[in-house]
Protein backbone atom coordinates (compact mmCIF):
# COMPACT_ATOMS: atom_id res chain seq x y z
CA UNK A 1 0.00 0.00 0.00
CA UNK A 2 1.34 3.42 -0.90
CA UNK A 3 1.35 6.29 1.55
CA UNK A 4 -1.59 8.65 1.54
CA UNK A 5 -0.92 11.90 -0.23
CA UNK A 6 -1.81 15.42 0.77
CA UNK A 7 -1.54 18.00 -1.97
CA UNK A 8 -1.55 21.48 -0.46
CA UNK A 9 -2.42 24.16 -3.01
CA UNK A 10 -1.54 27.60 -1.75
CA UNK A 11 -1.59 31.15 -3.03
CA UNK A 12 -3.31 34.49 -2.49
CA UNK A 13 -7.08 34.89 -2.31
CA UNK A 14 -8.76 34.40 -5.71
CA UNK A 15 -5.83 32.45 -7.16
CA UNK A 16 -8.18 29.60 -8.11
CA UNK A 17 -7.06 27.19 -5.40
CA UNK A 18 -10.40 25.58 -4.58
CA UNK A 19 -11.44 25.39 -8.24
CA UNK A 20 -8.22 23.53 -9.07
CA UNK A 21 -8.58 21.34 -5.96
CA UNK A 22 -12.05 20.30 -7.10
CA UNK A 23 -10.69 19.45 -10.56
CA UNK A 24 -8.01 17.30 -8.95
CA UNK A 25 -10.65 15.56 -6.86
CA UNK A 26 -12.91 14.98 -9.86
CA UNK A 27 -10.17 13.84 -12.21
CA UNK A 28 -7.84 11.93 -9.91
CA UNK A 29 -9.95 10.58 -7.06
CA UNK A 30 -8.72 12.82 -4.25
CA UNK A 31 -10.94 14.09 -1.45
CA UNK A 32 -11.18 17.87 -0.95
CA UNK A 33 -10.48 19.25 2.51
CA UNK A 34 -12.06 22.69 2.04
CA UNK A 35 -10.31 24.92 4.57
CA UNK A 36 -12.88 27.67 4.05
CA UNK A 37 -15.43 25.37 5.69
CA UNK A 38 -13.32 25.13 8.85
CA UNK A 39 -13.34 28.92 8.99
CA UNK A 40 -17.11 29.01 8.58
CA UNK A 41 -17.59 26.48 11.39
CA UNK A 42 -15.31 28.41 13.74
CA UNK A 43 -17.09 31.69 12.91
CA UNK A 44 -20.28 30.21 14.35
CA UNK A 45 -18.61 30.26 17.75
CA UNK A 46 -15.82 32.81 17.74
CA UNK A 47 -14.92 36.14 16.18
CA UNK A 48 -12.51 36.12 13.23
CA UNK A 49 -8.90 36.62 14.27
CA UNK A 50 -9.34 35.80 17.95
CA UNK A 51 -7.18 33.16 19.61
CA UNK A 52 -10.10 30.76 20.21
CA UNK A 53 -11.09 31.13 16.54
CA UNK A 54 -7.57 30.41 15.25
CA UNK A 55 -7.04 27.50 17.63
CA UNK A 56 -10.33 25.85 16.62
CA UNK A 57 -9.63 26.27 12.89
CA UNK A 58 -6.22 24.64 13.28
CA UNK A 59 -7.59 21.78 15.42
CA UNK A 60 -10.32 21.08 12.87
CA UNK A 61 -7.84 21.02 10.00
CA UNK A 62 -5.45 18.70 11.83
CA UNK A 63 -8.26 16.33 12.82
CA UNK A 64 -9.59 16.15 9.27
CA UNK A 65 -6.17 15.66 7.72
CA UNK A 66 -5.08 13.08 10.30
CA UNK A 67 -8.31 11.12 9.86
CA UNK A 68 -7.97 11.15 6.07
CA UNK A 69 -4.32 10.11 6.13
CA UNK A 70 -5.02 7.41 8.72
CA UNK A 71 -7.79 6.01 6.50
CA UNK A 72 -5.45 5.86 3.50
CA UNK A 73 -7.17 8.63 1.56
CA UNK A 74 -5.44 10.97 -0.87
CA UNK A 75 -6.55 14.56 -0.20
CA UNK A 76 -6.13 18.05 -1.56
CA UNK A 77 -6.52 21.20 0.51
CA UNK A 78 -6.00 24.90 0.00
CA UNK A 79 -4.32 27.61 2.02
CA UNK A 80 -3.46 31.29 1.83
CA UNK A 81 0.17 31.13 2.96
CA UNK A 82 1.68 34.29 4.45
CA UNK A 83 5.45 34.19 4.69
CA UNK A 84 7.01 33.89 7.25
CA UNK A 85 4.17 34.01 9.79
CA UNK A 86 2.54 30.75 8.62
CA UNK A 87 5.80 28.77 8.59
CA UNK A 88 5.18 27.11 11.99
CA UNK A 89 1.61 26.20 11.04
CA UNK A 90 2.82 24.54 7.82
CA UNK A 91 5.37 22.58 9.87
CA UNK A 92 2.64 21.34 12.21
CA UNK A 93 0.36 20.43 9.30
CA UNK A 94 3.14 18.53 7.56
CA UNK A 95 3.86 16.74 10.84
CA UNK A 96 0.22 15.67 11.10
CA UNK A 97 0.32 14.11 7.65
CA UNK A 98 3.67 12.42 8.20
CA UNK A 99 2.72 10.99 11.62
CA UNK A 100 -0.28 9.37 9.94
CA UNK A 101 2.00 7.86 7.28
CA UNK A 102 1.26 10.41 4.57
CA UNK A 103 3.30 12.66 2.33
CA UNK A 104 2.76 16.31 1.41
CA UNK A 105 3.21 17.95 -1.99
CA UNK A 106 3.19 21.75 -2.07
CA UNK A 107 1.84 23.63 -5.09
CA UNK A 108 1.77 27.41 -5.38
CA UNK A 109 -0.70 29.19 -7.66
CA UNK A 110 0.56 32.66 -8.49
CA UNK A 111 -1.50 34.66 -10.97
CA UNK A 112 -0.61 38.38 -11.07
CA UNK A 113 -2.52 40.94 -9.02
CA UNK A 114 -4.58 42.16 -11.98
CA UNK A 115 -5.96 38.65 -12.47
CA UNK A 116 -6.65 38.27 -8.74
CA UNK A 117 -8.59 41.55 -8.79
CA UNK A 118 -10.72 40.32 -11.71
CA UNK A 119 -11.44 37.01 -10.00
CA UNK A 120 -12.09 38.25 -6.47
CA UNK A 121 -15.35 39.95 -7.48
CA UNK A 122 -16.81 36.93 -9.27
CA UNK A 123 -20.28 35.94 -8.01
CA UNK A 124 -19.03 32.45 -7.04
CA UNK A 125 -16.97 34.06 -4.25
CA UNK A 126 -19.83 36.02 -2.68
CA UNK A 127 -20.93 33.28 -0.28
CA UNK A 128 -19.08 32.22 2.83
CA UNK A 129 -15.80 33.38 4.30
CA UNK A 130 -13.95 34.03 1.03
CA UNK A 131 -12.57 37.43 0.09
CA UNK A 132 -14.94 39.01 -2.41
CA UNK A 133 -13.84 42.61 -2.76
CA UNK A 134 -10.83 44.30 -4.32
CA UNK A 135 -10.14 46.61 -1.36
CA UNK A 136 -9.77 43.69 1.08
CA UNK A 137 -7.61 41.80 -1.44
CA UNK A 138 -5.31 44.78 -1.98
CA UNK A 139 -4.98 45.24 1.79
CA UNK A 140 -3.99 41.58 2.25
CA UNK A 141 -1.46 41.77 -0.59
CA UNK A 142 0.05 44.94 0.92
CA UNK A 143 0.10 43.70 4.52
CA UNK A 144 1.37 40.15 3.98
CA UNK A 145 3.95 38.38 1.83
CA UNK A 146 1.66 36.06 -0.11
CA UNK A 147 4.11 35.41 -2.95
CA UNK A 148 7.11 33.74 -1.28
CA UNK A 149 6.90 29.96 -1.74
CA UNK A 150 6.76 27.65 1.27
CA UNK A 151 9.74 25.71 -0.11
CA UNK A 152 12.09 26.81 -2.90
CA UNK A 153 11.37 23.66 -4.94
CA UNK A 154 7.56 23.78 -4.77
CA UNK A 155 5.70 23.49 -8.04
CA UNK A 156 4.71 27.06 -8.89
CA UNK A 157 2.11 27.80 -11.57
CA UNK A 158 0.91 31.07 -13.07
CA UNK A 159 -2.61 29.92 -13.86
CA UNK A 160 -3.75 33.21 -15.40
CA UNK A 161 -4.45 31.73 -18.81
CA UNK A 162 -4.83 28.05 -17.96
CA UNK A 163 -8.07 26.16 -17.50
CA UNK A 164 -8.40 24.60 -14.03
CA UNK A 165 -8.32 21.15 -15.64
CA UNK A 166 -4.92 21.96 -17.22
CA UNK A 167 -3.56 23.10 -13.86
CA UNK A 168 -4.92 19.95 -12.22
CA UNK A 169 -3.26 17.78 -14.88
CA UNK A 170 0.07 19.56 -14.31
CA UNK A 171 -0.20 19.02 -10.56
CA UNK A 172 -1.20 15.37 -11.03
CA UNK A 173 1.81 14.72 -13.26
CA UNK A 174 4.11 16.44 -10.75
CA UNK A 175 2.67 14.42 -7.84
CA UNK A 176 2.58 11.13 -9.73
CA UNK A 177 -1.20 10.82 -9.63
CA UNK A 178 -3.07 8.70 -12.11
CA UNK A 179 -6.66 9.17 -13.16
CA UNK A 180 -8.82 6.44 -11.65
CA UNK A 181 -10.24 3.82 -13.99
CA UNK A 182 -13.93 4.56 -14.48
To the question of pTM greater than 0.85 for the whole model, the response is: yes
CATH number for region 5-175? 3.40.50.300
For 30-89, the pLDDT digits (tens) are 999 988 889 999 999 999 889 999 999 999 999 999 999 999 999 999 999 999 999 999
- What is the C-alpha to C-alpha distance for residues 182 and 173, in angstroms, rounded to an integer? 19
β-pair partners for 104: 6
**119 C-beta neighbours (distance < 10 Å), count:** 19
| Distance, CA of 70 to CA of 96 (rounded, Å) | 10
Band of the pLDDT at 125, cuts 50, 70, 90?
A: confident
Q: What is the 3-state secondary structure (H, E, C) of 131-166?
A: CCCHHHHHHHHHHCECCCCCCCCCEEECCCCCCHHH
Write the CA distances from 85 to 18, 27, 108, integer angstroms: 22, 33, 17
Which distant-in-sequence residues (6+ apart) come within 8 Å of 144 by Cβ? 82, 83, 85
Amino acid sequence: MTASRHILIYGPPAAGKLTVARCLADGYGLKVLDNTLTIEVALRLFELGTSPFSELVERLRHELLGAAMGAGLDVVSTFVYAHPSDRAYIGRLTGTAERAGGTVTFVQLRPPQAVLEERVVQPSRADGAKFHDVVRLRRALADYDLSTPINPDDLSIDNSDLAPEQVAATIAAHAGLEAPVR
